[in-house]
Structure 1
């Protein structure tokens, strides 16, 4: 890192400081590398800036460097860098994921800057500086959450140093994305700082509708963040972002009983007039105040509104479908309105008591949830692929005068203490009281968490931890009119995990190695199977127990001054237990083995090469374990060339995804599977001023 880069880094960390470089003591940094692959802490894991070596939990942090190198456009592309996450269905322009084999819920599986975040849409990753994958139950700090873990998306913040980044990328299908990211101090004393991000994206997908039309996507993103130093001890942050995203629908491909695609891999069974159109807005306020040298308080508030119109052609796969047969579509127009309001207050203290160092967290958080739906159906249509596509039905959700609504709120108070007994031993202990308020579905819970850490070296940790999760159902009954078990009574879902792990930093702390063994059990899992039936579309049941045991290994950071890696692998033994329908079966989309590798080699200061390998083992496409999808390995490569033009930095990039044109099936079941795309080229250019 050169002296100018060091000055900018100091300015980013201490934005209110005046850097009088001419009077500063000159510091010379030895070494040519800058380790942008490795992150040493994860704010979402303990709600504090605690080192990963002092965190009794498996955590992976994916920095924006890797996101940019991969030219990622979706959260799924980012999360493919952690083998503990596998993709589920991508139907209807949203992504679903499994972590350690458990599905991540749209309402409880995602955080943004520590707030629960409604994630029923493709996330705007252009505003993120890193993604934290927090594994295992985390209900003690966040309330309702699943056993697999949480994904915390950490957003970009304003900087005092001024910069403007302009970027554009294009792929072989003609898809384009244009981005502007700008930040600067807005006052001379640098107390007020701002950052803005604008994105315009147009996507041409490779799969096609029955009439030959292309599926397209039109997305706009705007975001702004303002930081103001009210005093030297108080920071106020205001943020706002809006996403507009309209996309043609693709509910996925269809499989036969041998796990093979039926027909052409490009065929979309939806009609070309089917679409989803969403608008998502987030607005919020965060305050951080240092009370004294030992204590600080953090307060956060966020309002998220999510409005969506979805005009479906809703194709249904017949159980014995073959190419040339007819299938039924049941069109409808639907409007959904979600409102997700979150708030928290945290007191964090670091002090010495009884000759032991304490990092104490005392806090409370809350969530208020509202959902409203309007829906109007059209007449069913029988169709074969050789026929002319039927016209869009003349129906509108606005004609529905029977608004369906659902509301609930919950709050929790929590305490956590990381106790340093001596340089070798630490103990992390905590608990939470949580209460949900909903008519007919009130719930209360008390949850513990315990971790013990042993440091045989300053650069190594061995830990053992225990944690629990609690997921009260949003209503006391299943509310899905298209499900066979509509109005079925639902019990709360509970989970617990025991994890044994180790972390070790090598090569002067440049490379982090980690490994963990975990045993997770979950009671009350909801399993939904899509079916071909004239009266309903799915069957949902609540199974007895789901148990997942596994091993994870990972490496992240710099191997040499010019060679960087992010690698992980997971072995997973997952099955249903104590259930009359699924006893001994493996959950869908939960492979025994998965692995990922992304690397960069810097040939010189201007030219760098990337190579990635992503492996997913055999998986079942259904919980009955009657249809199996083959394992696959995808290889990606890329290269970046950096140059100067009139004193400004320019980065040119070429990426090739699926270099060897491997045929593969990603997430999804027999009637909504995602087909992997063949070899795909993408070009990008970034200008920095």
Structure 2
């Protein structure tokens, strides 16, 4: 219905300080605080209710949700370089903290009457559909503390080693988790302009408690989602450094994935039995084709599958195309103007976990033009015009089979920037 809406406001404040102790050692520190308030009013959410395909009728369900996120982050880094004999070290020692709080209220109700998909009939918003008439959402408070150390060791011109470890402690109302995350990389330079490398790293992502009130495990504290990444690749500079070519093979596995099993006429069940694995190959090229023309192009083949799940093991991960690519050309028109043209290709992919709903592949073309005006005392004015989706391509972005989102139609944006 036309009264469905989302209103957001974001306040963000922060600072960063850098101190150069000497030619070899520096200190960096920073703090940031963000408050995000969001109200979402929906006339339909989840699966379409009471659908009669014969006449095209269905029922509405209203939901009004208010959410507030307060996130404070801080970091302190000590960076420097030194030698042990002939071995060169580039050291990083640091710490970080994240204070995350989430609260909100929500009202859900059935909306009387039936809607026909073929009629442009509006059902008004019920007066009682207001989050202030609802119940409080599960409040989340979580603090994460991290300490890390990393050393880039250059044994000689050919062999480099990157080794690091991060210790994280996550505290919430329900539990405390400790994580040790290693990082390791080996680089070999056959020539001064080429590099062969392999890297391994681990990650974790804290998860909020189960928030759906009709779930058997409502309010249950969830463990962090964990990831492992292995990558092998090569990089090279050619044509006197004007062309950079990179390629890589990667394998990423995530475990402890949150899985919600929907059951007919029964409460849903949320667990962490999910595991997903993404394997693929990527290739990119960047550089100057001539004095006036430059290119940035990339492509990726991705095999994303669900490895462990109560119902969907073996299915492809949703919204992960097997093939995607992009190319962007910049052409300098005279000394002060630049014309840019780019295209993005996204292959077909599934929009739902069961792999019933398939989204078509698409190509989107963008164009931009900028002109710089030079003023006195090295001041500049920059005029920019950008056209997004030049040929007005119809395509689907995220979302599943009951809430897929259309991509943006053609739009033209103009801006003026003044540098002084």
Partner of 2:306: 576
Cα deviations across residues 579-601 of structure 1 (Å, max 9, x unaligned)? 44222111100111000111112
Number of aligned pairs? Answer: 414
Structure 1 residues 460 and 567 mapped into 2: Cα distance closer, same or farther (>3 Å)? same
Task: Quote how far apart the aligned CAs of 1:342 are.
Answer: 1.0
Q: Which has the higher helix share?
A: 1
Partner of 1:163: none
Say whether residues 1:669 and 2:400 are aligned partners. yes
User: Which region of structure 1 is more displaced relative to structure 2, 315-324 or 290-299?
Assistant: 315-324
Structure 1 residues 483 and 635 mapped into 2: Cα distance closer, same or farther (>3 Å)? farther
Say whether residues 1:391 and 2:124 are aligned partners. yes
Structure 1 residues 479 and 564 mapped into 2: Cα distance closer, same or farther (>3 Å)? same
Say whether residues 1:287 and 2:27 are aligned partners. no
Partner of 1:624: 354
Could you tell me which of 590, 599, 602 is aligned with 2:332?
A: 602
Cα deviations across residues 11-53 of structure 1 (Å, max 9, x unaligned)? xxxxxxxxxxxxxxxxxxxxxxxxxxxxxxxxxxxxxxxxxxx
**Cα contact 1:318–1:532 (8 A) shared by 2:** no
Secondary structure of the structure 1 residue equivalent to 2:139: strand
Could you tell me which of 67, 75, 92 is aligned with 1:361?
A: 92
Partner of 2:74: 343
Partner of 1:522: 254
Secondary structure of the structure 1 residue equivalent to 2:320: coil
Say whether residues 1:424 and 2:158 are aligned partners. yes
Cα deviations across residues 432-470 of structure 1 (Å, max 9, x unaligned)? 111111233311111211101112222222111111112
Within-5 A mapping of 1:147-296: 271-296=1-26
Say whether residues 1:586 and 2:316 are aligned partners. yes
**Cα contact 1:650–1:685 (8 A) shared by 2:** no
Structure 1 residues 541 and 401 mapped into 2: Cα distance closer, same or farther (>3 Å)? closer
Structure 1 residues 373 and 655 mapped into 2: Cα distance closer, same or farther (>3 Å)? closer
Say whether residues 1:303 and 2:37 are aligned partners. no
Secondary structure of the structure 1 residue equivalent to 2:56: coil
Q: Taking structure 2 as the reference length, what is the TM-score of the superposition?
A: 0.88
Partner of 1:497: 229
Could you tell me which of 61, 68, 82 is aligned with 1:330?
A: 61
Q: Which has the higher strand share?
A: 2
Within-5 A mapping of 1:57-206: none
Secondary structure of the structure 2 residue equivalent to 1:398: helix
**Cα contact 2:285–2:298 (8 A) shared by 1:** yes
Secondary structure of the structure 1 residue equivalent to 2:73: strand
Could you tell me which of 185, 198, 208 is aligned with 1:451?
A: 185
**CA distance in 1 between partners of 2:28 and 2:373 (Å):** 42
Higher relative contact order (CA 8 A, sep 6+): 1
Task: Quote how far apart the aligned CAs of 1:576 are.
Answer: 1.6
Q: Taking structure 1 as the reference length, what is the TM-score of the superposition?
A: 0.55
Task: Quote how far apart the aligned CAs of 1:297 are.
Answer: 1.4
Task: Quote how far apart the aligned CAs of 1:636 are.
Answer: 2.8
Task: Quote how far apart the aligned CAs of 1:653 are.
Answer: 4.9
**CA distance in 2 between partners of 1:582 and 1:320 (Å):** 25
Cα deviations across residues 227-286 of structure 1 (Å, max 9, x unaligned)? xxxxxxxxxxxxxxxxxxxxxxxxxxxxxxxxxxxxxxxxxxxx2222222221122232
**Cα contact 2:208–2:222 (8 A) shared by 1:** no
Structure 1 residues 488 and 352 mapped into 2: Cα distance closer, same or farther (>3 Å)? same
**CA distance in 2 between partners of 1:597 and 1:646 (Å):** 37
Structure 1 residues 652 and 329 mapped into 2: Cα distance closer, same or farther (>3 Å)? same
Partner of 2:172: 438
Q: Which ranges of structure 1 fall in alignment gaps of 5 or more residues?
A: 1-270
Cα deviations across residues 117-137 of structure 1 (Å, max 9, x unaligned)? xxxxxxxxxxxxxxxxxxxxx
Could you tell me which of 446, 457, 460 is aligned with 2:194?
A: 460
Secondary structure of the structure 1 residue equivalent to 2:127: coil
**CA distance in 1 between partners of 2:413 and 2:100 (Å):** 41
Task: Quote how far apart the aligned CAs of 1:540 are.
Answer: 4.7
Within-5 A mapping of 1:634-673: 634-641=364-371, 653-673=384-404
Partner of 2:147: 413
Task: Quote how far apart the aligned CAs of 1:646 are.
Answer: 9.8
Structure 1 residues 378 and 585 mapped into 2: Cα distance closer, same or farther (>3 Å)? closer
Task: Quote how far apart the aligned CAs of 1:616 are.
Answer: 0.8
Task: Quote how far apart the aligned CAs of 1:359 are.
Answer: 0.7
Partner of 2:211: 479
**CA distance in 2 between partners of 1:402 and 1:604 (Å):** 60
**Cα contact 1:441–1:473 (8 A) shared by 2:** no
Structure 1 residues 359 and 562 mapped into 2: Cα distance closer, same or farther (>3 Å)? same
**CA distance in 2 between partners of 1:397 and 1:426 (Å):** 57
**CA distance in 2 between partners of 1:302 and 1:639 (Å):** 34
**CA distance in 2 between partners of 1:378 and 1:580 (Å):** 30
Partner of 1:166: none
Partner of 2:245: 513
Task: Quote how far apart the aligned CAs of 1:640 are.
Answer: 4.1
RMSD, matched Cα: 3.0
Say whether residues 1:380 and 2:111 are aligned partners. yes
User: Which region of structure 1 is more displaced relative to structure 2, 441-450 or 652-661?
Assistant: 652-661
Secondary structure of the structure 1 residue equivalent to 2:132: helix
Task: Quote how far apart the aligned CAs of 1:482 are.
Answer: 4.8
Q: Which ranges of structure 2 fall in alignment gaps of 5 or more residues?
A: none
**CA distance in 2 between partners of 1:578 and 1:378 (Å):** 34
